[in-house]
Chain A
Amino acid sequence: MTNQRYFATPALVLAVMLAAVSGAVAESGPAESSDESLRILPGDFALTHPESRQRIVVEKLRGEQFVGEVRDECQLQSSDESVVKIASGVAIPVGNGRATISAREGQRKASVAVSVSGQENEHVWSFRNHVESVLSKCGCNSGACHGARAGKNGFRLTLFGFDLDADYSYLTRQAIGRRIVPADPGRSLLLTKPTGTIPHKGGIRFEPDSLEYRVLAEWIAAGAPGPRPDDRVIERLEVFPKYSQQQLGGRQQLLVQAHFSDGYVEDVTRWAKYTTVNSSVASVSDSGEVQIAGSGEGGAKVWYLNLSELAFLSVPYPGMVAPEVYAQADRRTFIDEHLLRKLQSLNLPPAARADDATFLRRAFLDTVGILPTVDETVRFLCDNDADKRERLVESLLARPEFVDYWAYRWSDLLLITGDHLRPKAVETYYQWLRTKVAANTPWDQLVREIITASGSTHEYGPANFFALHQDPETMAETTAQAFLGLSINCARCHNHPLEKWTNDQYYGFANLFSRVRSKGWGGDYRSGDGLRVVFSDTQGELLQPSKGKPQPPRPLDGQPIPFERTTDRRIELADWLTSSANPYFARSITNRIWANFFGVGLVEKVDDMRITNPASNESLLAAASQFLVDHQFDLKELMRAILNSAAYQRSSESVPGNASDDRFYSRYYPRRLKAEILLDAMSAATGVPTEFKNAENKPYAAETRALQLPDASVDSYFLKTFGRPERLITCDCERSDEPSMPQVLHLLNGTTLNGKLQASNGRIHTWLESAAGPESIVKELYLAALSRYPTPEEELRLTSVLAGALADPANANERRQLLEDLVWSVLSSREFLFNH
């Protein structure tokens, strides 16, 4: 019973389209746009047994783009009701033969060919493909119910059916065979419980007159045939429409087809499970109907028999933006084309170009984490050269502070903290990292050195990766999270419920680390010397708990390594990890770099790169990742392309129509400075450095900036309150840049800022000593803190406040306090606290 696979070949599609278009052109009246046509999804199809069904969706097409479903206005018709008929949007086979189904909406038409065969055959539901899908669709094998480790009420199924033989045994061999009663299917617990005929704590999952009931009942009546080695096995899912543009308030029925190993294709729309990817854009019902809620990029995740697919939904923002706006918009690097294309598809206008002062401050903060000095600011603002911004970018990438900033960011990622490593280990790890950043070591090489590190933790920095993570599971999970942006933790106990990673793959991956050992314990993080000598053993395996045997070591879905090979498995892991063919590696680091400059990643959260968490602009992420690969993972190249792009240099001021955009970069998104940057900026603006003490309570060198601290455990109420990460878990979420009440109270009343204002050295002291006048004070303060000149209005406002008091020679105290209050007011303003 081989079934020919019918699918919409390009030729067929074109034929259908032409037919639709020519029909439309011939008959269309003035009221209809001639570039819109109809398409019947899923295209031509076959119904090959009596239970075959195919849901049909009539979709509008504008050019190449699906733009929404046509429903009530549309009539569907079968050309031969003795072959196939249509009921409630579903094609039902009647008798063998061929027919066409056509749709008509006003003057527009479309049709598809239907082939019906095998109607004389008896249909037997398959355990693998139908019974299991009912158990999944109805929630029976979910984690909250019988899919839990211990099952429920003595009945256990494997989570989402990941072990068919086990499930078959649970259903047919246990409970004294009461779960299945072949002689009288209706008495089977499998039917009486979920219909509520017998009390069921899980409630009523389906009704006796439902298809689900019929599938299970007929399967039982057929003798409950189990999974067979020659069963057709599902290979992939196809979802229709995969990409569509929708309108606010619109509805879209999705279709899902399953493609099997023998070429067979089945409509599984009624069996699949649906979840929304972004609920602020769309919701999706259990039957696969999408309801559009808001503008932006959304999607629906479709799950069937342990495979997932995504349907992408793009909802333009309301309003009108003329095409010239995009045609004429600034384009400077490859980034801009991708970005503008997305803005245009969403109807979001780009903001204007940021002025020089704004760009100067922004680029300094995002690239090197410091403010420009007064001199640097004046020089840049007075420079009339057309390419001064490009030259600024070059100079920033070459500054020594670049090393401080990026060594700090990567220390966050690698968890370098005295809370988990002894002082000597912290120093070794941090210094090694600094050296790498200073040498602009390509990212793939840096990661390779970490993953394959062996040696003494006191001498070779990256060996500390294996001091921080001491068991193979933790090493595997951290590697995946830090360098691939993937969280595989759930697969530790069962197949990952949200992703494609299986329990087998998890243990195959972890087994790559099973031979990493160390001589010497080094104590724990509170005591001992932290000296471990890491090496790779030539034997040893990690047992997979559920099977009691090791999985062949293999990097996730890469090639397995033979057990008996004795070379360091981490070398092959590093090859796979950093390969330009690895779909996750380049994307993950690209997304992190992107988020550093734009404040919001193309994928959010930055380290949540799941298939089912799509990027806000996939073509841009793909292009940027490829760019990085093409440049041998030289991060500075990517930074250069970002800094020089028109996108990065956009103002944060919204224009009509883009104020609610927070994902597509139509404007720059203001964000609070990171804790360390803010503290350093306050030190620079006041001219009073912060004193930091190390774990032994000894002060760091004078004028050490927060970004130069090698250790996140350095005591600082300010840094802790303003969201410095603790570096205890590999998660971007550790750092918070959001404002909070304790932060504000600390700015108002705390010792950090007030201490700098009251210090006997620093900028205020210099002003008083030199008897500076009000104008020069205000100018200098604005240049130092806000990297711009005050406007004439601002200057007037503030100098008039200062003038009286400063002129009075008698009250030195009063002068001092007024200056402190003035500086306070600037350093607590949004313009200072935010990067905009």
Chain B
Amino acid sequence: MLRITDHGSAHTCDGILRRDFLEIGSLSAIGLTLPQLLAAQARAAESSSQPDDGRSAIMIFNLGAPSQIDTFDPKPDAAAEIRGPFQPITTRSADIQLTEILPHHAQHADKFSLVRSCFHTAAAVHDTGHQMLQTGRLFTGGLNTPHVGCALAYLKGRRSDLPPHVILPEPMGRTGGNLPHGQDAGFLGKAFDPLALMADPSKPNFKVPDLLPPEQIGDVRLDRRRKLKSLVEESMQRFESSQNAKLLESNFETAYRIMTSPQARDAFDLSKEPPAIREKYGMNRFGQCCLLARRLIEAGVRFVTINTFITVFDEITWDIHGSKPFTSIEGMKNIVAPMYDQAYGALLEELHERGMLQRTLVCNLAEFGRTPRVNPAGGRDHWPQCFTCYFAGGGVQGGRVIGRSDPIGGYPAERPVEPSEVVATIYHALGIDLETTLSGPAGRPFPVVDFGKHEIKELFQA
């Protein structure tokens, strides 16, 4: 059995060695062909021997979907039943107007750029938009494409003791469609799934569940347990062809690494932040996730996905249908926008002050927009035909508006942008060549984005 360590050297399997990131059994067992094996070897070698480009990304996914007209794409000249109750405000960018409910965004409008002409043609349920905006594709034919952060984990591996991709606070839950949301590694396999925090960092005494061993088990016992476990685990051949068994082992290795790394433990320790900073982000779940995301990027995580909300059913979110159990435009103004606006402003400011913005893309995505006409319940419904996404950092030039929607915010009038282009933009900012291929089902090469799809160049041009 051949083992490939992060250091690009192979060991034969006598003795008990620390199993590292990638372990290969018999080639047929996990379906790797020799070229793929060598490619994996090369990647593992490359990730440690070449200097890392230091690029990272934070994806803020506004589950529920903000109303574009009431937030980033105001239509002050449209009829009352379209423009809604909010006034537009000027911002730090001459090109950008936002609505009055986003004053912090206005302060930082020189750092981000809006794409107001996003659209998609899949069914207007949340799940399809989740899939398309996070993986670039709609799932069909039984094929689950990977989240861009998971593809990154696959291509580049980890950069520090922490996993390469982390989801805060937890993966998306029920949004009514019973479809996958595209927040895992799909056909790449669960080995490249993100680590989910599974906790609320705004709670007092927040800690990552079970991150550290209990007091009675110090480092010595931890080590002894690890050795005993290796003794007990003979290499049972029956587990060689079990993906789940391999995944379990790889999970253990990741766990040990995180547990024994002071850097990793510190990254999750929000008590190390001064209270004033924590207050600046807002002592709520989303605010503290943004702060935690900054810390994780500093600690070497490549990609942090923040789900602003987790479900449309048990919390008040952007999904402002107006009728119960959803809130209305008013509710969004009072409950959702303030905490969102404050947290985003704090995040951009801190990234900027710490010199991280240049190499950290911050993208704010949603699964669709909302109907131009306010409905009788004082809300707006699903509208994938036109919505806004925005980007900051990672080489993006701020203060711009790319694309334009029509006078009622119903359809793109100029420069329509598909979800695949949004995802291509993220890959581009991370320095991934758009023609890179992943190892698809049955080993066939699977391009990270569909051929012919490019990043939104207008975001990056000088």
A-side interface residues toward B, CB under 8 Å?
143-145, 201, 275-281, 293-294, 651-654, 659-660, 667, 669-672, 717, 721, 728-729, 731, 733, 737-746, 748-751, 754, 758, 794, 797-798, 801, 817-818, 821-822, 824-826, 828-831, 833-834, 836
Knowing A660-B28, A669-B242, A831-B233 are in contact, say whether A746-B228 is a contact too (CB < 8 A).
Answer: no
Residue of A201, A798, A818 contacting most chain B CB atoms (<10 Å): A201
Q: Does B276 contact A (CB under 8 A)?
A: no
Mark out the residues of chain B between 192 and 227 whose CB falls within 8 Å of any chain A CB in the assembled complex: 193, 195-196, 198, 208-214, 216-217, 221-222, 224-225
Kindly state the separation between the CA atoms of A660 and B441 in the bound complex, as whole angstroms: 12
* Chain A CB within 8 A of B36 CB: no
Chain A contacts of B249 at CB under 8 A? 830
Q: B461: CB under 8 A from chain A?
A: no
A758–B251 alpha-carbon span in the complex (Å): 25
A-B contact pairs, 9 of them (CB 8 A): A293-B444, A653-B237, A660-B29, A738-B244, A740-B190, A750-B210, A801-B228, A828-B229, A830-B249
Q: Whole-angstrom distance between the alpha carbons of A29 and B353 in the complex?
A: 82
Residues of B within 8 A of A741 (CB): 163, 195-196, 251, 254-255
Find chain A residues with CB under 8 A from B28 CB: 659-660
**Is B211 in contact with A749, judged by CB distance below 8 angstroms?**
yes
Residue-wise, chain B 29-62 has the 8 Å CB interface mask toward A (1 for contact) of: 1010000000000000000000000000000000
With an 8 A cutoff between CB atoms, is B334 at the interface? Answer: no
Q: Is the CB of A746 within 8 A of B210?
A: yes
A817, B248: Cβ atoms closer than 8 Å: no
- Cα distance, A798 to B190, chains bound together (Å): 33
* A366 → chain B closest CB, angstroms: 16
- For the complex of A and B, 9 pairs with smallest distance between CB atoms: A294-B442, A825-B228, A280-B441, A144-B121, A745-B210, A652-B238, A739-B248, A825-B229, A749-B210
What residues of chain A lie closer than 8 Å to B443, measured between beta carbons? 294
* Cβ–Cβ contact B441 & A830, under 8 A: no
- The residue on B at minimum CB distance from A668 is B238
Query: With A279-B143, A672-B244 in contact, is A754–B234 under 8 Å at CB?
Result: no
Identify the interface centre among A276, A670, A817: most chain B CB within 10 Å of its CB.
A670
Bound Cα distance A824, B224 (Å)? 11
Q: A739-B190, A836-B236 given; name 9 further pairs at CB < 8 Å.
A: A651-B238, A670-B239, A728-B174, A729-B178, A733-B178, A745-B208, A745-B210, A748-B255, A828-B229
Q: Does B259 touch A at the CB level, under 8 Å?
A: yes
Contact B238 A746 (CB under 8 A): no
Using A279-B142, A671-B244, A749-B214 as known contacts, say yes or no to A834 and B239 having CB atoms under 8 A apart: yes
Across the interface, name the chain A residue whose C-beta is closest to B120: A144
Q: B377 within 8 Å of A by Cβ? A: no
- A758–B221 Cα distance when bound, in Å, is 14
In whole angstroms, what is the CA distance A653 to B25 when docked? 14
The smallest beta-carbon distance between A141 and chain B, in angstroms, is: 14
Q: Are B229 and A745 in contact (CB under 8 A)?
A: no
Contacts known (A821-B221, A829-B232, A836-B238); A144 close to B248, Cβ less than 8 A: no
Chain A residues positioned under 8 Å from B210 (CB to CB):
742, 745-746, 748-750
Residues in B with CB closer than 8 Å to A144 are: 121-123
Contacts known (A741-B254, A746-B210); A654 close to B225, Cβ less than 8 A: no
Write out the residue numbers on chain A whose beta carbons fall within 8 Å of the beta carbon of B193. 740
Q: Which of B196, B232, B245 contacts A670 (CB 8 A)?
A: B245
Whether B231 is near chain A, meaning CB under 8 Å from some CB there, is yes
CB neighbours of A821 from chain B (8 A): 221, 224-225, 228
CA distance A751 to B238 in the complex (A): 30
Which among B193, B224, B244, B411 has the greatest number of chain A C-beta atoms within 10 A?
Answer: B244
Using known A-B contacts A280-B441, A801-B231, determine if residue A749 contacts B242 with beta carbons closer than 8 Å: no
Docked-complex contact A275 and B141, CB < 8 angstroms: yes
Task: Kindly state the separation between the CA atoms of A833 and B246 in the bound complex, as whole angstroms.
Answer: 13
Which residue of chain B is the closest to A278 with respect to CB atoms?
B142
Q: How far is the CB of A786 from chain B (nearest CB, A)?
A: 9
Q: Is the CB of A746 within 8 A of B209?
A: yes
Distance, CA A201 to CA B31, complexed state (A) = 43
Check B341 for interface membership: any CB of A closer than 8 A: no
Residues B88-102 near A (CB distance < 8 A): none
Scoring A738, A739, A746, A818 by chain B CB atoms within 10 A of each residue's CB, the highest score goes to A739
- CA A798 – CA B252 in complex, angstroms? 21
Let me know if A740 and B228 touch, CB within 8 A: no
Interface centre among A729, A731, A831 (most CB of B within 10 A): A831
Instruction: Compute how far the CA of A794 lies from the CA of B163 in the bound complex, rounded to whole angstroms.
Output: 34
A525 CB to closest chain B CB (Å) equals: 13
Q: Indicate if the CB atoms of A659 and B245 lie closer than 8 Å.
A: no
Q: How many Å lie between the Cα of A145 and that of B384 in the bound state?
A: 12
Most buried by A among B123, B221, B234, B242: B242
Which residues on A sit within 8 Å (CB–CB) of B436? none
Residues of A contacting B122 in the complex (Cβ-Cβ under 8 angstroms)? 144
Q: How far apart are the CA atoms of A773 and B245 in the complex, in Å?
A: 32
Chain B window 136-164, contacts with chain A (Cβ cutoff 8 Å), 1 for yes, 0 for no? 00001111000000000000000000010
**In the complex the two chains form, is A731's CB within 8 Å of B178's CB?**
yes
CA of A738 to CA of B251, assembled, Å: 11
Instruction: Determine the chain B residues whose CB is within 8 A of the CB of A825 once the complex forms.
Output: 225, 228-229, 231-232
Q: A654 touches which one: B29, B143, B212 (CB < 8 A)?
A: B29
Which of B178, B209, B216, B240 is A745 in contact with, Cβ under 8 Å? B209
Query: If A143-B123, A145-B121, A294-B441 touch, does A672 touch B248 (CB 8 Å cutoff)?
Result: yes
Q: How far apart are the CA atoms of A801 and B224 in the complex, in Å?
A: 11
The verdict on B247 contacting chain A, using a C-beta distance below 8 Å, is yes
Complex-state Cα separation, A26 to B50, whole angstroms: 67
For A729, give the chain B residue with the smallest CB separation: B178
Q: Are A670 and B233 in contact (CB under 8 A)?
A: no
Does the CB pair B238–A758 fall under 8 Å?
Answer: no
Residues from chain A with a CB closer than 8 A to the CB of B437 are none
CB closest chain-A residue, reference B28 = A659
Are B241 and A654 in contact (CB-based, < 8 A)?
Answer: yes
B26 in the interface, Cβ–Cβ < 8 Å? yes
Known: A280-B441, A748-B213, A830-B239. A822 touches B190 (CB 8 A): no
Give chain B residues whose Cβ lies under 8 Å from the Cβ of A826: 232
Asked if residues A659 and B241 are in contact (CB atoms below 8 Å), the reply is: yes
Task: Specify the chain A residue showing the minimal Cβ separation from B239.
Answer: A830
Q: Do residues A748 and B259 form an inter-chain contact, with CB atoms below 8 A?
A: yes
Contacts of A660 in B (CB 8 A): 28-29, 31, 241
Closest to B194 in A: A741
Closest chain B CB from A711 CB (angstroms)? 20
* A144 to B121 Cα, complex, angstroms: 5
Q: Is the CB of B239 within 8 A of A749?
A: no
- A281 to B441 CA separation, bound complex (whole angstroms): 9
Q: Report Cα–Cα, A143/B123, bound state, in Å.
A: 7
Task: Report which residue of A277, A667, A826 has the largest number of chain B beta carbons within 10 angstroms of its beta carbon.
Answer: A826
Give B252 Cβ to nearest chain A Cβ, in Å.
5
- Taking CB atoms, residues of chain A closer than 8 Å to B141 are 275-279
Question: Chain B, 155-196, contact with A by CB distance < 8 Å: what is the 0/1 string?
Answer: 000000001000000000010001000000000001001011
Give chain A nearest CB distance to B63 CB in angstroms: 18
